[in-house]
Structure 1
Amino acid sequence: MKKKNIFDKITYIIRGNGHPLILLHGLMGGLSNFQSILDFFPKKGYKVIAPTLPIYNIPLFSTNIYTLSKYIINFLMKIGIKKATLIGNSLGGHIALIIAKKRFDLVHSVVLTGSSGLFEKSFGGDFPKRENYEYIKKKSQDIFYNPKIATKELIDEVFNTVNDKKKAIKILYLAKSAIKYNMSKDLSKIYQPICIIWGKQDNITPPYTARLFNKLLPNSQLYWIDKCGHAPMMEHPKIFTEILEKWLSKFNFKDKNFLV
């Protein structure tokens, strides 16, 4: 019997045509986190592709950030994408940086927002109170400057996820893997253009993390969004897309010699 391979079945959204933007969600995130990008950029001449990370489909012994990076590399190769812009939030940003370092041929540029890779406060440590709904509610609200962004639907989803024992263990494995793979010594080797969009009130990856990314990455620009937490594309989608569109407009993606 043929062994099932997680790379054989890829779930993703694809919209538009043009230079590819690859959306990489965080550990507790999903494709809906990038709804503003999915709605806006296909109308502006970009191909937007959002794969679902197989966080809960990976065997436990290989549940780590390397496996997820390999998943995205295989995914990009399978659908014939080259010289893409990787847009990553939290764990997704960390994955984007690993791919940019390993596969220069696949990555034109990277957009980081609330990215791990240097420092990140764990969502819940060992989830000591995972059965306490109010605790999970507070932790979910802490992701945002405006706690109302953490809707009941979002809180319920997080609560159900961390109270699924198998999912909770995999989340902890991935979180520890991300902490272990600190990229401070790798960033100087990543030469692609990097756009850093950060919330000034990010409690998960605090502002000094963004400044350190900007200092260590050779070709980066840092943009701040005020009254904003760990997920700027959710909390201030209009401002986020405006910053991103302006930054992307610097590149001549329509040049016939530009490989997409």
Structure 2
Amino acid sequence: MKQNMILLHGLFGQLSNWDSVLAQFGEDYDIYVPSLPVYDTPKEEPLLFLLDYVEKYIAANKLQNIILVGNSLGGHIAVLYAARHPHQVKHLVLTGSSGLYENTNMGSFPKRSTAAYIQARVEYTFHDPAVATEALVAQVLTITKDTQKCLGVLRVAKSAQRHYVADLLPLITAPTLLIWGREDRITPLQVAKEFENMIPDARLVVINDCGHAPMMEKPDDFNFALQQYLNYAITIVLSKTH
């Protein structure tokens, strides 16, 4: 029976952000990639609204023993879920997760949604600016030029900054893999080290020449780190059963 894997995207993320993970792990795992309703959040506690959405999604699909993977905002939600439902999460994987510190200038988006500015902000996400393709920039620009979507993004971003997770991290019982870009400027490497120190069973893998979204910028390295970790976890489980 295949294990369940859930992939949670970031604030400006798209389901396509996980294409490389789906391609590598799709045959061996049942993978779920929910589209987080970032643009439809209420004014009150939008981050908890998204957590509630994920809880209902998991319940509706009757998922158990989950490998929960989150990037940026998705990592933040994954932390909240793992702390609240420790029996449901078999492994937690965080990459560029918010929740401790995040270097953003979200407040300037509504006033500065020019193509040049958005191009610069998208490039800032990656170590290699070439990863910020025209299509990716166009997706973000479309969001920032839509008033409703832009307000939704701002609500969630501000809510995420308010929900500091340091007190929850010691409660996480799931073995945790942290995959971080060494050149991440949004959640710098020191943030990953703080996650590693605060989560009881955490391992940090650092990818060189990589920014805030390793699964997009360095997909082979990201997949290798995840595969090695899961292989090791399976080996440990097997050794305990014999």
Q: TM-score by structure 1 length?
A: 0.88
Match in the other structure for 2:3: 19
Task: Give per-residue Cα distances to partners, 1:105-148, cap 9 Å, x unaligned.
Answer: 22111100000010111253332543321111100000000001
Letter in 2 for 1:245: Q
Residues 210-225 of structure 1: matches in 2 within 5 Å? 210-225=192-207
Are 2:123 and 1:136 equivalent residues in the alignment? no
Letter in 1 for 2:131: I
Q: Percent identity?
A: 37
Judge conservation of contact 2:127–2:210 (CA < 8 Å) in 1: yes
Judge conservation of contact 2:106–2:157 (CA < 8 Å) in 1: no
Residues 1-260 of structure 1: matches in 2 within 5 Å? 18-43=2-27, 45-58=28-41, 60-62=42-44, 64-127=46-109, 129-252=111-234
Looking at structure 1, the residues matched to 113 and 98 of structure 2 have their Cα atoms a distance apart, in angstroms, of 26
Identify, as 1 or 2, the structure richer in helix. 2
Looking at structure 2, the residues matched to 170 and 128 of structure 1 have their Cα atoms a distance apart, in angstroms, of 11
CA 1:123 to 1:245, structure 2 compared with 1: closer, same or farther past 3 Å? Answer: farther
Letter in 1 for 2:29: Y
Q: What is the CA-CA distance between 1:62 and the residue it aligns to?
A: 4.1
Q: Which stretch shifts more, 63-72 or 192-201?
A: 63-72
Q: What is the CA-CA distance between 1:57 and the residue it aligns to?
A: 2.8
The alignment's C-alpha RMSD in Å is 1.8
Looking at structure 2, the residues matched to 34 and 155 of structure 1 have their Cα atoms a distance apart, in angstroms, of 17
Letter in 1 for 2:18: F
Judge conservation of contact 1:21–1:87 (CA < 8 Å) in 2: yes
Q: What is the CA-CA distance between 1:235 and the residue it aligns to?
A: 0.3
Letter in 2 for 1:52: S
SS at match of 1:252: helix
Letter in 1 for 2:30: K
| 4+ residue segments displaced more than 6 Å | none
Looking at structure 2, the residues matched to 250 and 167 of structure 1 have their Cα atoms a distance apart, in angstroms, of 41
Task: Give per-residue Cα distances to partners, 1:50-82, cap 9 Å, x unaligned.
Answer: 110011233x33461111111111111111101
SS at match of 2:101: coil
Task: Give per-residue Cα distances to partners, 1:154-204, cap 9 Å, x unaligned.
Answer: 101101101111111111110010000001111111121000000000011
Letter in 1 for 2:22: L
Gap runs ≥5 in structure 2: none
Judge conservation of contact 2:40–2:152 (CA < 8 Å) in 1: no
Gap runs ≥5 in structure 1: 1-16
Q: TM-score by structure 2 length?
A: 0.94
SS at match of 2:108: coil
Looking at structure 1, the residues matched to 197 and 87 of structure 2 have their Cα atoms a distance apart, in angstroms, of 24
Letter in 1 for 2:34: P
Letter in 2 for 1:158: V
